[in-house]
Amino acid sequence: MTKVVSTYVELHIFRIVNGEMEFLLLKRSPTEKYPDIWQMVTGKIKNNEKAYEAALRELKEETNLESEEIFTVPVVNSVYLDETDEVCLIPVFACRVNENSVVKISKEHIEFKWVSPFEAIENLAWEGQKNSVRIIQKYWFNERERLIKIR
């Protein structure tokens, strides 16, 4: 029987430059699963780790960035994992980084770019991820209290 689990996180990194929001996108290595797609930071939740702790760890591992603020986004994405016959519920987080932060990508990725919310939506592969960008942008500028600040 198919199980429902929550073993991955999704973290959208953004910065504010001259009042405009920019999202960080990472291009996956051609040797990784889902080669050459643009994505946000994703990763597995380790044993005894809270989901937001996994997001912060993955932020450091994949980009070498530090979060100025991290928020829970009020949406959960999902994916079916055929290799384990599991439906994975993926908590979504957003973090703001300093506009002058220097990105250093891991070997999982071959390229990065800062893009507008519109460009992020155009570049991301899955609708749930695109919708997360829309929610983050809307709430940041219009309803910030809906983004639950973790730290």
CATH number at residue 65: 3.90.79.10
Q: Which amino acid is at 128?
A: G
pLDDT of residue 65: 98
- The span from the CA of 103 to the CA of 86, in Å, is 33
- The span from the CA of 105 to the CA of 32, in Å, is 14
- If DSSP codes are grouped into helix, strand and coil, which group holds residue 114? strand
Number of domain units in the chain: 1
pLDDT of residue 31: 87
| Residues 74, 135 contacting (CB under 8 angstroms) | yes
pLDDT of residue 32: 77
Query: Which residues in the chain land under pLDDT 50?
Result: none
* Residue 71 lies in domain: 3-149
| Partners of residue 56 on adjacent β-strands | none
What does the pLDDT look like over 86-129, one tens digit per residue? 999 999 999 999 999 999 999 999 999 999 999 999 999 999 99
